[in-house]
Chains A and B, each alone.
Chain A
Amino acid sequence: MSTEDDGDGVNVLRLREIKSYLRGEAPSLSVLAKAPQLRSWRLVIADVRTADDRPRLLMVLVGHVSGHPHFIDGRFIRTSELIWLDRNRNWARSWNRVYQLGAASSDGAALGQSEV
């Protein structure tokens, strides 16, 4: 889980996780306990173009993180593309990792959108 190279192993793991969510499973408590947490988070829809120049929209999370391998606690970050958002909004799977979701942001302050 901690490896960052987008090697085959990571791809397989990602696929396997999404498949397990599609069987109705959620990340286990131990996985969630180890996952970084986002507070005051918001969803942002970004407008991008694909390699073949087709328009595409995708979703990322922004918020204050804690327990992230690459960021100090409290840092305001933007995740990679979301590939699963729990319907109860308790957790999310981005391209790179699972996040635990704390309290959502209450204010809708405008933020840069197309950085992805």
Chain B
Amino acid sequence: MRHSAATCPSPMPLPVELLWQTGWPLAARLFWSRTASIPGLPRDDLAAHFWSGDKERCKLASRTFADLLFAAGRGEEALAALMLAADTVIPQTFEIVLPQLTYALKHLWSWPTVSKTRADTLYRLITWWRAARGDFVDDGRSIFLIAGKIETLDASGGLPPPSSEHTASNKHERSRNDAPQPPSLVVMPKSRATKLNNYHSEFNDLVDARLPLVVARDLAATRKSLMSEYPHATTAIDLILRSVREGEPVHVAPVLLVGPAGAGKSRLVRRLAENLGLPVYRYDGSGASDSMFGGSPKGWGNTVPSAPARAVNQTRVGNPVLMVDEIEKSGTATRHGRLWDAILPFLERETASRYRDVSLDCELDLSWISHIATANSIESLPAPLKDRYRIIKVPAPSLGHLPQLATGVLKEMALENGEAEFVHPLAPDELAVIARAWEQAGLSLRKLRRIIAATLEARNATALKH
């Protein structure tokens, strides 16, 4: 009975449901949960790419899902995967989605719903068709986001004329005159590079590649959500965000976060970057990293480019965050040369914009990287290094912060479990138990997570018994 799966009553076909999502992550999450029960999908293998936050890797993973789902006879889900792989910058990616999606919407699928009718859905689909026509090639946002926004602006029923004729001359004129170009950066211009050797094959497609620069959006919301998550670090958040401007590419001047272990410094950096849409590349200052920060010269057997170059290559963004964790611990790790000396040139924007990577033997523009370091103390750091960083204190949280911190942790855990809507607040007695345990653990945020997790487990265990 092959049919049973296809005809099983479902509230809304997955592609239709995806059309109503207002952002790629929401659509992706829905897809992820709705395909969970399909046997034989190598979800674990694809998860790292699918959730990487990197557009190209997401697209590749989505296309792989589509192939596998078609092969498994699950065309609706496969079509949904192709929707996730659609890229407004490349209108052709819509061509293998829209004919079938439109037909199925009009003639095949039906769903019992009052609020989102077939006509509404077809109307929403027009934005997708416009993307196929190339109306949003300069936009850079996901089609889910654009469709969600346009619907409210454009309810009159009129269809704007095509914005581009797809002819070369016309397109050039557009980009010169009116169309705002998304900010981007060539990190590795070909004119300043010598031939790469085979240790660097992964860097080949960085040559002359125009990488996007992540632009700051909704700074006020970012500030608010970080402040509620880190009530003890509001000064630090304020100082960091001060150098970021709404609507401009994000660049945070070098910052060194100093505070006791467990104050949540590294996590704060990650959350900050997540909120700003920036990828993070982590370098372990305590010497656990097996490669040098400054890279090793070309001509050495196993030559490695500098950490900032690796960061850009891995994240495929011109302005990632490079986080050096526990920078003060590198003092004694002399085996790779001193991190402190190696990091200095990158902290000076002027120098970083023309950095000659000894391994790639190429001049790179690394001036858009945000350097954020963490340290438990800074006594041992040399003065030149301290001069280059803005040093910001992140104090340990106090018991008074507990209710707010606990709420943040709960939300985060719910999100990780894929059930954002189900945050069950802690009862006063639970909170009291947590407070005692946390105090004994030295008010470390890392330990707070574990304590709360244990409390929830205990709660679930008792709930099961009754």
| Contacts from A to B (Cβ < 8 Å) | 15, 18-19, 21-24, 43, 45, 47, 54-59, 81-87, 89, 92-93, 108, 110
B441 at the interface (CB under 8 A from A): no
A34 vs B103: C-alpha distance when bound (angstroms): 24
Contacts A15-B108, A87-B66, A87-B82 known; list 10 others, CB within 8 Å. Answer: A18-B107, A19-B6, A22-B6, A22-B75, A22-B104, A43-B95, A45-B132, A47-B159, A82-B99, A83-B102
Contact A18 B157 (CB under 8 A): no
In the complex, chain B residues 87-105 whose Cβ is within 8 Å of any chain A Cβ: 95-96, 98-100, 102-104
Interface string of B160-172 (1 = CB under 8 A from A): 0010011100000
Contact B96 A24 (CB under 8 A): no
A93 vs B107: C-alpha distance when bound (angstroms): 15
Contact A23 B157 (CB under 8 A): no
Nearest CB to that of A25 among chain B residues?
B73
Contact A22 B76 (CB under 8 A): yes
Q: Interface majority SS on B: helix, strand, loop or mixed?
A: helix
Closest-CB distance, A53 to chain B (whole angstroms): 8
> Hey, which chain B residues are within 8 Å of A59, CB to CB?
95, 98-99, 132
Contact partner, B100, options A18, A23, A55, Cβ 8 Å: A18
Q: Which one of B123-131, B143-151, B387-395 is at the interface? A: B123-131
Closest-CB distance, A95 to chain B (whole angstroms): 9
B72 at the interface (CB under 8 A from A): yes
Closest-CB distance, A97 to chain B (whole angstroms): 14
Can you list 27 A-B pairs with a CB-CB distance of less than 8 A?
Answer: A15-B108, A18-B100, A19-B6, A21-B75, A23-B2, A23-B73, A24-B69, A24-B74, A24-B75, A45-B132, A54-B123, A55-B157, A55-B158, A56-B122, A57-B133, A57-B159, A58-B102, A59-B98, A59-B99, A83-B102, A85-B95, A85-B100, A87-B66, A87-B70, A87-B82, A92-B99, A108-B167
Give 8 nearest A-B pairs by CB, closest first: A22-B75, A55-B159, A57-B129, A83-B103, A82-B99, A24-B70, A87-B96, A24-B73
A87 vs B158: C-alpha distance when bound (angstroms): 31
A85 vs B358: C-alpha distance when bound (angstroms): 49
> Hey, which chain A residues are within 8 Å of B74, CB to CB?
24
A57 vs B158: C-alpha distance when bound (angstroms): 12
A56 vs B151: C-alpha distance when bound (angstroms): 15
B221 at the interface (CB under 8 A from A): no
Nearest CB to that of B79 among chain A residues?
A22
> Hey, which chain B residues are within 8 Å of A47, CB to CB?
159, 162
Closest-CB distance, B59 to chain A (whole angstroms): 13
Given A45-B132, A45-B133, A110-B165, do A56 and B126 touch, yes or no (CB 8 Å)?
yes
Nearest CB to that of A55 among chain B residues?
B159
Given A47-B162, A84-B99, A110-B167, do A57 and B104 touch, yes or no (CB 8 Å)?
no
> Hey, which chain A residues are within 8 Å of B103, CB to CB?
18, 83-84
Nearest CB to that of B123 among chain A residues?
A54
Contact B158 A24 (CB under 8 A): no
Closest-CB distance, A77 to chain B (whole angstroms): 17
> Hey, which chain A residues are within 8 Å of B159, CB to CB?
47, 55, 57
A54 vs B119: C-alpha distance when bound (angstroms): 10
B288 at the interface (CB under 8 A from A): no
> Hey, which chain A residues are within 8 Å of B79, CB to CB?
22
Closest-CB distance, A73 to chain B (whole angstroms): 25
Closest-CB distance, A94 to chain B (whole angstroms): 9
Nearest CB to that of B168 among chain A residues?
A108
